């Protein structure tokens, strides 16, 4: 579910839930419902996430789809490690020189 990815990404970027809810202009309880997969975020809200993180909206959605597939096949830990490596490399391109 996309809520898992949004929560993990928030944590990677070091945002507290209260900070993120303020940036998104939503209540803390609504953010919690999204991150716990009780509610689905709107496309508009996903666009705000992508702006905050500097990640393409399509990348967030694709990451969520791959995460769901990995969870279904019990390969979620391996998937998360692989995606984190790619994510970190993408966020620190100057270190590859």
Which range of residues forms the domain containing residue 40? 2-96
Q: Assign 41 a pLDDT band (cuts: 50, 70, 90).
A: very high
Whether pLDDT at 97 is above 70 = no
**Can you give the pLDDT at residue 56?**
87
Contacts of 67 (CB under 8 A, 6+ apart): 4, 5, 76, 79, 80, 83
Q: What is the pTM of this model?
A: 0.69
CATH of the domain at 85: 1.10.260.40
Q: Count the domains in the chain.
A: 1
Give the distance, in angstroms, between the CA of residue 69 and the centroid of all CA atoms in the same chain.
16
Convert the pLDDT of each residue in 54-94 to its tens digit: 888 888 888 877 666 666 655 556 666 677 667 766 765 55
């Amino acid at each position: 579910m996309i809520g898992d990815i949004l929560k993990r990404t928030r944590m990677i970027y070091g945002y507290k839930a209260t900070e993120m809810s303020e940036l998104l202009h939503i209540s803390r309880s609504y953010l919690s419902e999204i991150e716990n997969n009780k509610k689905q975020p709107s496309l508009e809200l996903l666009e705000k996430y992508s702006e905050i993180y500097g990640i393409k909206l399509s990348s967030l959605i694709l990451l969520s789809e791959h995460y769901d597939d990995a969870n279904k096949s019990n390969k979620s830990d391996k998937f998360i490690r692989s995606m984190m490596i790619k994510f970190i490399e993408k966020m620190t391109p100057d270190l590859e020189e």
